A and B are shown apart, each in its own frame.
Chain A
Amino acid sequence: MISKYKWWELVITYTGMALFLTFILAPFAEALMVSLRPIDSVFRVPYRFFTDNMTIQPYIDMWTSVPKLGRYILNSFFISCAVTALALACIIPAAYSFARFNYRFRDGFLVAFLAVNMVGAAVLIIPLYKLMFSLGILNTYWAMIIPGAAFSVPTGIFLMRSYFLRIPRELEDAAYVDGASRLYTLRRVILPVALPGIMVVTIATFIAAYAQQFLFALTFNSVTDYHPLPVGLYQFFGRERVLWNELMAASLVGILPVLMVYVFLQRYIVAGLTAGAVKE
């Protein structure tokens, strides 16, 4: 298709995008600027975006103001990884079964899964607390990992299922004719072909887990050593004042693992991995 836009159409397009990006990125820009100022300049009136006493001191001081900051960041990363691994271990087989096998109530199960997702974790927090309590896993990593995984499974199944559905059935038939068992086919044919889909689900789950852990950590965990970053950040709220600049610095550093995971995994989200499998 030849796309020729009038100049004013281009202006509208770019203005729209700029507006959208500004809304999304402005908080980050402000966080960055705050993190690069001494605490006294943060609330200066009149407001100036750039000030002359910019410094990276908050990035150094934050490690001493909150001594366990490194541990919190690692906790966050570890919990998210564990949630992602556990969720994937459930999502992939479940999604494959939803996509390929025929059984009674299959579609009903799928709808039920999604319905659970709509209710959300916040509503279920008290029953979950009781559940964790009776399982005896309050104040352990498990208390944050298991609910985190459970609540990311439904969306994951839905995403993964639609990806599996796009893989031609004849690929499996061919493997079966060649003598391969179901599991062999899943491992050697389906999973490699579904890799881009798996990566999308991995990234989505990881990010969701990173965002979600605050709620679970706050309610199910009171051991400081197990706290993830979002809870740990509270320690910047001092007795008489909040160290906003260090808080922002720590938040930005805390985002880094997510960015790293994203940059590392997005290479695998390449379109056209199924090219050449079947006649188009």
Chain B
Amino acid sequence: MGHLILSGVSKSFGSAEVIKPTDLEIVDGEFTVFVGPSGCGKSTMLRMIAGLEEITSGTIEIDGKVVNNLAPVKRGISMVFQSYALYPHMSVYENIAFPLRVAREKQPEVDRLVNRAAEVLKLTDRLKHRPGELSGGQRQRVAIGRAIVREPSVFLFDEPLSNLDAALRAEMRVELSRLHSKLGNTMIYVTHDQIEAMTMADKIVVLRDGRIEQVGSPLELYHKPNNRFVAGFIGNPNMNFLPVTCKSADPEGVRVTFADGSEAVVAVDCGDARPGDKLELGIRPDALRIGGDDAAGLKLVPEVVERLGNQTVIYAIAPDGTPLCVVGDGFAEVRPGQQVAASFAPADAHLFGKDGAAFARNFDLSRLDRLA
């Protein structure tokens, strides 16, 4: 129930290839999140899986059946749209009942299913209202209700929370996760939001320009990004990138020199790095410590300091002009314009080649498995 396989799926609008040939497998019951910058083809991918958009080549398989030419209902999917797409002239009850009416379900059965969906979504006392009389969060729940009432095997969500305010968004996020554990359906979820992606996903698919950049669990993507794009995309604030030069490459790591001449050994698989190569070192803002005495050090000049209470976000520039972001504790001793020293543990650093590909980090993912 809900095992999805895409093989060689691509999509062109006219001459523009919006989705490059893509392979992807999503196992039954998995919560998969598609992320990527605006216009990278997330919605298009979702609409192809839904059957709203014809695929140019390749096959989509659900539960071992090729569904390329099947209508959405026949595929056993249902979809919640980027806008809610509720029927404004119908009551909440009729909105949720719509798929059942189309399927000519008997009235007692409709009653039972709608009431059950309404109960799950806490909409029972809103059934008589029109969508126009509901709050944003309630409308969103009606849209979800309409999708779950048919008991599909695959659920598609296109940025369902993007227009809600922060508090409601957090609440709906928890509700959706709860819904997923209750229903156990396969869910595919498109979002721009880092937190949604990191917290809800079993598996994240990072897309760029119609191509899958990496597929993996949230922490896998965070700790072992395949390339510079994924590293920069996952994690908030974004990873810092510093230009470095390879000094020597050994099995235990790559020794690099910074612009100011200081050196550090990054614990990565040296791959094909050769002395003299121009590389990029990636370091997350929270791995940098102001005034720390870790092995690798940098000098930087803070430009903007944001104090959030529990932490301080510092936007600074390195002497060579590279912008850097540092997340320190709430009492970090920094002031705009006054140079400070920052340091990081080389084990926390990432290293990327000229083409953006990451050197494999010596990072033990099994450490994360224990947390699951």
- In contact, B163 and A279 (Cβ under 8 angstroms): yes
- CB of B336 closer than 8 Å to a CB of A: no
B302 at the interface (CB under 8 A from A): no
Given A276-B134, A277-B131, decide whether A171 and B102 contact each other with a Cβ distance below 8 A. Answer: no
Q: Does A12 contact B (CB under 8 A)?
A: no
Q: Contacts A277-B85, A278-B85 given; indicate if A177 touches B102 (C-beta within 8 A).
A: no
Distance from B236 Cβ to chain A, minimum over Cβ atoms (Å): 24
Task: Say yes or no: B78 contacts A276, CB within 8 Å.
Answer: no
B103 touches A276 (CB 8 A): no
Interface check A168, CB cutoff 8 A: yes
Residue of B nearest to A184 (CB): B102
Closest CB in chain B relative to A175 CB, distance in Å: 7
**CB atoms of A177 and B86 under 8 A apart:** no
Q: Are A277 and B84 in contact (CB under 8 A)?
A: yes
Name which of A77-85, A94-102, A267-275 contacts chain B: A267-275
**Size class of B's contact patch?**
20 to 34
Per-residue CB proximity of B53-84 to A under 8 Å, as 1/0? Answer: 00000000000000000011100011101111
Bits for A136-179, please: 1 = Cβ < 8 Å to B, else 0: 00000000000000000000000000000000101101111111
A171, A179, A184, A195: the one contacting B87 at CB < 8 Å is: A171
State in angstroms the CA–CA spacing of A275 and B133 once bound together: 8
- How many of A's residues come within 8 Å of B, CB to CB? 24
Q: Is the CB–CB distance between B88 and A273 below 8 Å?
A: yes
CA distance A173 to B86 in the complex (A): 11
Q: Does B50 contact A (CB under 8 A)?
A: yes
> Which residue in A175, A180, A193, A279 is a CB contact (below 8 Å) of B88?
A193
Q: Is the CB of A180 within 8 A of B102?
A: yes
Residues in chain A near residue B11, CB distance under 8 A = none
A67: Cβ under 8 A from any B Cβ = no
Q: Chain A residues with Cβ under 8 A from B136's Cβ?
A: 279
CA distance A189 to B50 in the complex (A): 20
Query: Chain B residues near A279 (CB, 8 Å)?
Result: 82-84, 136, 163
Chain B residue contacts of A276, Cβ below 8 A: 86, 88, 130-134, 139
Per a CB cutoff under 8 Å, which of A173, A184, A273, A275 touches B81?
A: A173
A-B contact number at CB 8 A:
88
Q: Is A192 an interface residue (CB 8 A)?
A: yes
Assembled-state Cα–Cα distance A273/B86 (Å): 12
A176, A184, A193, A278: the one within 8 Å of B89 (CB)? A193
- The reply to whether A275 and B88 contact each other, CB–CB distance below 8 Å, is yes
Q: Is the CB of B72 within 8 A of A179?
A: yes
Closest CB in chain A relative to B191 CB, distance in Å: 15
Determine if B150 is an interface residue (Cβ-Cβ < 8 Å): yes
Contact pick for B52, options A176, A189, A277, CB 8 Å: A176
Complex contacts, A193 vs chain B, CB 8 Å: 87-89
- Whole-angstrom distance between the Cβ of B224 and the nearest chain A Cβ: 36
Chain B residues, CB < 8 A from A180: 98, 102
Check if B228 is an interface residue, CB within 8 A of chain A. Answer: no
Query: Is residue B146 contacting chain A, with contact meaning CB distance below 8 A?
Result: yes
**In the complex, per-residue mask of B110-146: 1 if CB is within 8 Å of any chain A CB, else 0:** 0000000000000000000011111010010000001
Which of B73, B131, B139 sits near A179, CB closer than 8 Å?
B73
Q: Return chain B residues, CB-CB under 8 Å to A189.
A: 87
* A170 and B85 contact, Cβ closer than 8 Å, known pairs A177-B73, A275-B132, A279-B163: yes
Asked whether A170 lies within 8 Å of B102 as measured between CB atoms, the reply is: no
B150 touches A178 (CB 8 A): yes
User: Are B132's CB and A272's CB within 8 A?
Assistant: yes
Query: Could you tell me the distance between the alpha carbons of A170 and B150 in the complex, rounded to whole angstroms?
Result: 19
- The interface residues of chain A lying within 8 Å CB-to-CB of B29 are none
- Rounded to whole angstroms, the CA-CA distance of A100 and B163 in the bound complex is 27
| Assembly CA distance A147 to B63 (angstroms) | 58
Asked if B184 CB lies within 8 Å of chain A CBs, one says no
Offer 25 A-B interface pairs, CB within 8 angstroms, sorted by A: A168-B85, A173-B47, A173-B79, A174-B79, A174-B87, A177-B77, A178-B72, A178-B73, A178-B99, A178-B102, A179-B72, A179-B73, A179-B99, A179-B102, A179-B103, A189-B87, A192-B89, A193-B89, A195-B89, A275-B88, A275-B131, A276-B133, A277-B84, A277-B131, A279-B136
Nearest 7 pairs between A and B by C-beta? Answer: A276-B131, A275-B132, A278-B83, A276-B132, A179-B73, A174-B85, A178-B99
B residues near A, CB below 8 A? Answer: 47, 50-52, 71-73, 77-79, 81-89, 98-99, 102-103, 130-134, 136, 139, 146, 150, 163
Chain A interface (Cβ < 8 Å from any Cβ of B): 168, 170-171, 173-180, 184, 189, 192-193, 195, 272-279
